[in-house]
Structure 1
């Protein structure tokens, strides 16, 4: 949604009114809560965004319920798909008044996202329904508002029932809501479209199109004014044109503006501009909107690969679900921004929003921080993956949902590809081919500047079909998405030399093969690992265990976390990410130690998993035992030392998958790996043995947060020994308390199978760490967070709230 408070004199705050605050909520299947006279005085008061599925269940029954988890959740695959969380029906109600200056204007209610089926009433009158839980939508509520009254009531019912998702979805109004108030002649949501058809170092032509709506009842003649602002608040181009807007019709107005010596948007320098579009009637500014955009070029070819601003760029990609770990699906602004910060700091330059559009704030952070995005639409079309999923609505709603996605997101410079689906069952059938054509045609009409892809898998869902039968589907796509099929790249290129390929999904254990092919062949433009970050649901997808364990794809209660990410549930780096650092040439050398296996047992790693390696040399009770140590490097050789003495040295190369494996008898001290090219030291990494837990270290992501009642601070808690080394095997219960200008919003660790409340101020550390999320209150001051644990020195930290 185009809105910003920068630059313009127009009152954007009046047009785009924050509607998140002061809702009353009740989780119950009521029938009369839509009535404007319904008594909701005993309901809970909360602010959006809100996800009730991450909150503690009312009944906590040992062995059956823990925090938000229920062994009787009833979700797909015995609750494993949704992480044993609970849906249901939730009601939200809010009273609002139209300001005197807003009466007799157009009023719309804008929802960025609610999961899943949403019904809206205003003053007891039914307004409309929305089916898809991941797309933004809005309703014109003008006819239902009491224009000359101080009290209007909106009631929203959100239902999340049945088997409708393959992962944790969350429940409720989990993204922002806005009240949009305009004059009768206005620019509606998503109605500004910005392209940069001509770009060079010396100049760029920016084309701005605005769709104008006229509900005044008469023809209007006026001016459309456009200003382009750079990051330094300078107007770099402006234009105006006369326009005639017929009554009760939409009119499109397009202008081209030249920007001299433009600052291009790139992942290293994500320069942004702002377009301000205003409507003037009879010399009066009756409406305006703003949209951020970037000036950049993108290109794709089998010969040159992907190019950003004419320079080749390999996509170091990861697939990302929408949930925010211990916060559930609630899309707080800061957590969406932090997610992008984490991805970028761990080496990713691209994400795939699997398998639906991300939040607006996530895309804004990608624009601002320099992260490329494949913006995906659907996980299914007409054929189901679960009996109650979106397939039952696809035929009726796909066009409006695709329109919502593309119109909302098309101005983001971070978005480089549209994806029309993931592992669609009918992808190569005649029905699927026709759907593909319709989807592509619709998207191209809305945005002609980006190419289209789809994530295509082998025919495990159609036994007996061969890979070659994907050809009709791939023929329609601009960029062909391959899920887990790296061995098909080269033979397919022989048959289809102009085909552009991308690994839309891959597993960590095949990271070497995938990245070798990306670096070798320009027609393979990148690789997107499943997944970049751990997520709720698909419980235990990335597990490692013993051959005697249940070898089902997902793990039963009490697992709730997929555990297949490069980054864990609270933002810490996982072992496979260190290997990616070497493959992606970010780090010269990394090391991992395999945890000891029980005698006589063999480790079994799931297809999406990684061996039970750790960045640790703390293994009390295992003195003298042999440990497997892997050193990862692109150097010509690595040397392994224990307590200053060389144990061994080994060559590394692509023939060893950039891995040198050693057997080392455990002895406390320092384990060090050194990487050399010939005799030149390229880098080193070491692990020191930690002694017993002695103290806590608190690390806050930002020392100062906003006093708006919405901003978040993320405090990492680390158990350390007396020397300040993290104790990686520490599993210590901690208790938290916050005082002053903030409150504890969530607490948790990264353990995928240790269920607990995320709302209670207590948590056991996992691998020596956990996370506390603090939310500011309204009003300046300080937040003091205190942490205590048995046998540890208490710790505290102060956060400034301004």
Structure 2
């Protein structure tokens, strides 16, 4: 950073002043969404589209964010089917059999007279991947990484107000470049920032809280300012802090002089009395507003939400948030949003985090890349701790076309962009510099680890740094865990362990000051790991792989019948879904989520049933990331007389099972388990499990046989939403019997949908990991009696009517009001 002439006179006012927040803060005066009115072409055109006079009249019109890999583009490609799936995709199981290729985007726009003489920047929150950007034929740059934000200044190349400007983006998703579904295109928001030559930089406000208690807090606001004028400028930097009610709880004023063409950073300290502290349980937020004022006129202004909170981590006390111990109940998540693909729309990101909170999670690990800025804002607002992760690869390749091609030239730019964009989010408690890095135990890998950590500490010294370490790679690289791992954990501030919970206690004996974190774990080990977390303060949390089903790594959690000692990891077509989530592809709870409810004391008892007839010469196999193929159901038509396996999950020590009022068995549960297993001959009726402590019944749960499919039921998560493109209504689809009970064995009923009013069907889906039909056609089969329709407004207020019809079923409809 170039330092200019800096003359500062500080005057801090620590008083509570009644102020209207909305009147004082308008964070978007200088920045607006630039998502509407784009043209798109999926093509390998090599020249022409970047030229302003290129004829794009035949291109498809669309709004951003956009992901062409989730669309029905594959119908134009040989050897594909209707939908986004392409059997000959570069990534195969890893990208979920989806098409990449080259896409072009174009947008025309004109400046207003008021924007003349301003500095204008284009901001991209994420483009997958390898993007090139032109303005009026001038190449602005190339950005290879598909997950980090970036921006370019347009000012020197723009035409006069009233004249047309043409912005062009080329996106290349080529080769085998990802171990999961990445999507393709400009899949996150684009913004246009218009500022005066004297302005606050993009991501130029950095808020930290170095001293926090229940009675007071010190809030440090560091602001980076650029003077693009040809002369020195004097101004007042005026900073205010507002609470959730809009009251001003702190002010700071600085007299500043900055030389022509220079950039400087200046800091102000605000003291807050009796702060409302941020945590996942109480996500209280404030708003910081920073203004540049000259002659009582606002030249530039930025406002952003922040949280006041204190994070301390050590091996003796564990993780303390605002002085209170916290265990991270974590889940790893990828960036995709089910049937929408990788598109980042506010309502989709909010629903994801809300569902995870409702399932007991208090933390997410962004695997294995920076998420959208929208998702982090949701985590701040709803209350969710975050590990923000930078890279899945450094210099050593995992796939031939992955980030290792760009690491050496781009790591600093990408790491800096991630931290500068994300550092003001109170939800972020750790930075992760990598995941399962192949060279991490080599001399070069250790040097890179130190280099990345040192850079993080310069960019943000307030948070600790971790990395997800896995001994899978040791066997492949002939590294010895005991010899090589201490060196990397000596560098890292928090040791991230992937699938190595059996090493926790032994490692602690050798390295008592090491802070440990389960950065990935198998779902089947939830109970054992939770016992360790409650026992040892040096273990601060665990992150299951994964919290929610995602596209790609197809069949990672497959189950089935195999011969002998064969071990299956990934399976082939038509699997497209990893299927290892606690929640399924459309957000429904899966059996492991109910199990976790018992582990985390959210439920005293749960019961699941599995139909298991093992063919001769075969054995039933559950992948390490998988779960038995069980259902919360006692409806197994055609299985009368067959023996079913019933699992009861409870922390009570005795379980009794009754079928149609008759006791059919009881079982004591060992101290090392929470599972009672029964083999029960099936007959329709009511199955009841009762849990006992000291001879007294303390909890129970039941399953009842339901009737035949009779009707469709639609349930919208919200029946009133905003009339803009960034809102969505998620409509659950259920097949029910004549009494309104869900029919969980209904798998093959296809529902046809019609929509009227100012809305569209943005996606259809279900939890089936092998249903490779379209996500965008107005029809879809249900899975285990359930489906999903995502409704998106077109931008006009009014009413949307969604209707669902299926052969032999009573239809249903739901009304959604747009305002």
1:41 deviates by 0.8
Within the alignment, does 1:714 sit opposite 2:730 as a pair?
A: yes
2:8: which partner in 1?
none
Q: Secondary structure at the match of 2:477?
A: coil
Within the alignment, does 1:768 sit opposite 2:785 as a pair?
A: yes
Within the alignment, does 1:439 sit opposite 2:455 as a pair?
A: no
Within the alignment, does 1:318 sit opposite 2:335 as a pair?
A: no
Deviations 1:72-102 (A, max 9, x none): 1122xxx111000010110000011111111
Deviations 1:266-306 (A, max 9, x none): 11210000100000123221001012111111111111111
Within the alignment, does 1:175 sit opposite 2:188 as a pair?
A: yes
* Cα pair distance change 1:67/1:21, threshold 3 Å: same
1:386: which partner in 2?
399
The 8 Å contact of residues 74 and 81 in structure 2, kept in 1 or not, is answered as: no
Paired with 1:130 and 1:688, the residues of 2 have a C-alpha distance of: 56
Within the alignment, does 1:27 sit opposite 2:42 as a pair?
A: yes
Paired with 1:10 and 1:618, the residues of 2 have a C-alpha distance of: 57
* Cα pair distance change 1:84/1:467, threshold 3 Å: farther
* Cα pair distance change 1:493/1:81, threshold 3 Å: same
Within the alignment, does 1:723 sit opposite 2:732 as a pair?
A: no
1:177 deviates by 0.1
Within the alignment, does 1:510 sit opposite 2:488 as a pair?
A: no
2:680: which partner in 1?
664
1:548 deviates by 4.0
1:36-75 maps to which residues of 2 (within 5 A)? 36-59=52-75, 64-75=80-91
The 8 Å contact of residues 557 and 579 in structure 2, kept in 1 or not, is answered as: yes
* Cα pair distance change 1:62/1:645, threshold 3 Å: farther
2:437: which partner in 1?
424
1:602: which partner in 2?
619
1:366-515 maps to which residues of 2 (within 5 A)? 366-458=379-471, 459-463=474-478, 465-515=480-530
Q: Secondary structure at the match of 1:797?
A: strand
Q: Secondary structure at the match of 2:370?
A: coil
Q: Secondary structure at the match of 1:492?
A: helix
Q: Secondary structure at the match of 2:753?
A: strand
1:391 deviates by 0.5
Q: Secondary structure at the match of 1:239?
A: strand
* Match among 565, 575, 581 for residue 565 of structure 1: 581
Q: Secondary structure at the match of 2:444?
A: helix
* Cα pair distance change 1:467/1:771, threshold 3 Å: farther
1:654 deviates by 3.0
1:12 deviates by 4.4
Within the alignment, does 1:591 sit opposite 2:612 as a pair?
A: no
2:640: which partner in 1?
623
1:287: which partner in 2?
300
* Cα pair distance change 1:242/1:531, threshold 3 Å: same
Paired with 1:270 and 1:595, the residues of 2 have a C-alpha distance of: 44
1:203: which partner in 2?
216
Paired with 1:709 and 1:353, the residues of 2 have a C-alpha distance of: 25
1:251 deviates by 0.8
Q: Secondary structure at the match of 1:610?
A: coil
* Match among 516, 538, 541 for residue 556 of structure 2: 541
The 8 Å contact of residues 424 and 456 in structure 1, kept in 2 or not, is answered as: yes
* Cα pair distance change 1:494/1:517, threshold 3 Å: same
Q: Secondary structure at the match of 1:565?
A: coil
1:157 deviates by 0.4
Q: Secondary structure at the match of 2:235?
A: strand
2:346: which partner in 1?
333
Paired with 1:61 and 1:103, the residues of 2 have a C-alpha distance of: 46
Within the alignment, does 1:692 sit opposite 2:708 as a pair?
A: yes
Deviations 1:326-368 (A, max 9, x none): 1100001100010100110111000000000111111111111
1:136-175 maps to which residues of 2 (within 5 A)? 136-175=149-188
1:681 deviates by 3.6
Deviations 1:290-325 (A, max 9, x none): 121111111111111111111111111000000111
1:110-129 maps to which residues of 2 (within 5 A)? 110-129=123-142
1:349: which partner in 2?
362
* Match among 536, 548, 560 for residue 521 of structure 1: 536
* Match among 589, 604, 613 for residue 630 of structure 2: 613
The 8 Å contact of residues 486 and 513 in structure 1, kept in 2 or not, is answered as: no
Paired with 1:602 and 1:614, the residues of 2 have a C-alpha distance of: 20
How many residues get paired? 794
Q: Secondary structure at the match of 2:476?
A: coil
The 8 Å contact of residues 10 and 285 in structure 1, kept in 2 or not, is answered as: no
Q: Secondary structure at the match of 2:627?
A: coil
CA RMSD of aligned residues (A): 1.5
Within the alignment, does 1:225 sit opposite 2:242 as a pair?
A: no
The 8 Å contact of residues 8 and 276 in structure 1, kept in 2 or not, is answered as: no
Within the alignment, does 1:532 sit opposite 2:543 as a pair?
A: no
1:797: which partner in 2?
814
1:360: which partner in 2?
373
The 8 Å contact of residues 591 and 685 in structure 1, kept in 2 or not, is answered as: yes
Paired with 1:152 and 1:627, the residues of 2 have a C-alpha distance of: 67
2:10: which partner in 1?
none
TM-score by length of 2: 0.95
Deviations 1:134-185 (A, max 9, x none): 0000001111111344211100001100110001000000000001000001
Within the alignment, does 1:637 sit opposite 2:654 as a pair?
A: yes
Paired with 1:514 and 1:551, the residues of 2 have a C-alpha distance of: 24
Paired with 1:452 and 1:461, the residues of 2 have a C-alpha distance of: 26
1:696 deviates by 1.3
243-252 vs 786-795, which moves further: 243-252
The 8 Å contact of residues 187 and 288 in structure 1, kept in 2 or not, is answered as: yes
Paired with 1:160 and 1:554, the residues of 2 have a C-alpha distance of: 23
Within the alignment, does 1:738 sit opposite 2:755 as a pair?
A: yes
Paired with 1:461 and 1:478, the residues of 2 have a C-alpha distance of: 26
1:469 deviates by 1.6
Deviations 1:621-671 (A, max 9, x none): 11111111111111232221212222222222432x111111111111111
1:13 deviates by 3.9
1:10 deviates by 6.8
1:466 deviates by 3.0
Paired with 1:355 and 1:408, the residues of 2 have a C-alpha distance of: 17
2:17: which partner in 1?
none
* Cα pair distance change 1:430/1:129, threshold 3 Å: same
Paired with 1:102 and 1:140, the residues of 2 have a C-alpha distance of: 14
Paired with 2:159 and 2:27, the residues of 1 have a C-alpha distance of: 23
Q: Which runs of 5+ in 1 are unaligned?
A: none
Paired with 2:687 and 2:452, the residues of 1 have a C-alpha distance of: 55
Paired with 1:500 and 1:569, the residues of 2 have a C-alpha distance of: 34
Paired with 1:634 and 1:552, the residues of 2 have a C-alpha distance of: 32
The 8 Å contact of residues 74 and 80 in structure 2, kept in 1 or not, is answered as: no
* Cα pair distance change 1:203/1:415, threshold 3 Å: same
Q: Secondary structure at the match of 2:543?
A: strand
Deviations 1:352-386 (A, max 9, x none): 00000111111111111110000000000011100
Q: Secondary structure at the match of 1:59?
A: helix
The 8 Å contact of residues 60 and 67 in structure 1, kept in 2 or not, is answered as: no
Q: Secondary structure at the match of 1:157?
A: strand
Q: Which runs of 5+ in 2 are unaligned?
A: 1-19
Q: Secondary structure at the match of 1:569?
A: coil
The 8 Å contact of residues 26 and 303 in structure 2, kept in 1 or not, is answered as: no
The 8 Å contact of residues 113 and 162 in structure 2, kept in 1 or not, is answered as: no
Paired with 1:784 and 1:209, the residues of 2 have a C-alpha distance of: 49
Paired with 1:99 and 1:641, the residues of 2 have a C-alpha distance of: 75
